[in-house]
Amino acid sequence: MDVSVERKVDKSAVEIELLLAALSKCYGYDFSNYSYSTIHRRLKNRVSLEGVEWISDLIGRVVYEREFAFKIINDFSINVTSFFRDENFFSTIRKKVVPYLKTFPYFKIWHAGCATGEEVYSMAIILKEEGIYDRARLYATDINHAALLHARESIYSNSDINKAQKSYKNCGGKLSLEDYFYSRYNSSIVSPSLSSNVTFAAHNLVNDGVFGEMQLIICRNVMIYFNNELKRQVIKLFKSSLCPGGMLCTGNKESISGLTKDCEFNVFDNKAKIYKLDQERYEPSTYY
Query: Residue 195 sits in a domain of what CATH number?
Result: 3.40.50.150
Whether the pLDDT of residue 92 is over 50: the answer is yes
Paired strand residues for 138: 109, 198
Q: Is the dihedral of CA 161, 191, 128, 277 positive or negative?
A: positive
Same domain assignment for residues 144 and 61: no
Look up the domain containing 25 and give its range.
Answer: 11-76
Same domain assignment for residues 108 and 70: no
Same domain assignment for residues 148 and 214: yes
Whether the pLDDT of residue 179 is over 80: the answer is yes
Same domain assignment for residues 54 and 97: no
Residue 81 lies in a domain: no
Same domain assignment for residues 122 and 249: yes
Paired strand residues for 184: 187
From 98-112, 164-178, 274-288, the region with the lowest mean pLDDT: 274-288
Residue 106: pLDDT band with limits 50, 70, 90:
very high
Percent of the chain past pLDDT 90, that is, above it, reads 77
Residue 4 lies in a domain: no
Residue 1 lies in a domain: no
Q: Look up residue 2 and give its DSSP letter.
A: -
Same domain assignment for residues 230 and 167: yes
Average pLDDT, stretch 152-161? 95
Max avg pLDDT among 6-10, 79-83, 231-235, 283-287: 231-235
Under 8 Å between Cβ of 158 and 172: no
Average pLDDT, stretch 46-58? 96
pLDDT tens digits for 3-51?
555 666 688 999 999 999 999 999 999 999 998 999 999 999 999 999 9
Same domain assignment for residues 269 and 146: yes
Q: How many domains does the chain have?
A: 2
Give the model's pLDDT for residue 142.
94
Residue 172: pLDDT band with limits 50, 70, 90:
very high
Residues in the chain: 288
Q: Look up residue 7 and give its DSSP letter.
A: P
SS3 113: coil
Average pLDDT, stretch 155-183? 95
Give the model's pLDDT for residue 288.
33
Is the entire prediction scored with pTM above 0.85? yes
3-state secondary structure 170-218: HCCCCCCHHHHEEEECCEEEECHHHHCCEEEEECCCCCCCCCCCEEEEE
Q: Is the dihedral of CA 175, 197, 185, 168 positive or negative?
A: negative
Same domain assignment for residues 144 and 269: yes
Residue 286 lies in a domain: no
Give the model's pLDDT for residue 286.
42
Instruction: Give me the chain's average pLDDT, please.
Output: 91
Residue 21 lies in a domain: yes
Same domain assignment for residues 50 and 124: no
Q: Look up residue 63 and give its DSSP letter.
A: H
pLDDT tens digits for 193-244?
999 999 999 999 998 888 779 999 999 989 988 988 999 999 999 999 999 9
Whether the pLDDT of residue 73 is over 50: the answer is yes
SS3 266: strand
Under 8 Å between Cβ of 120 and 82: no
The Cβ of residue 193 has, within 10 Å, a number of other Cβ atoms equal to 11
Residue 39 lies in a domain: yes
Same domain assignment for residues 64 and 177: no
Paired strand residues for 110: 139, 217
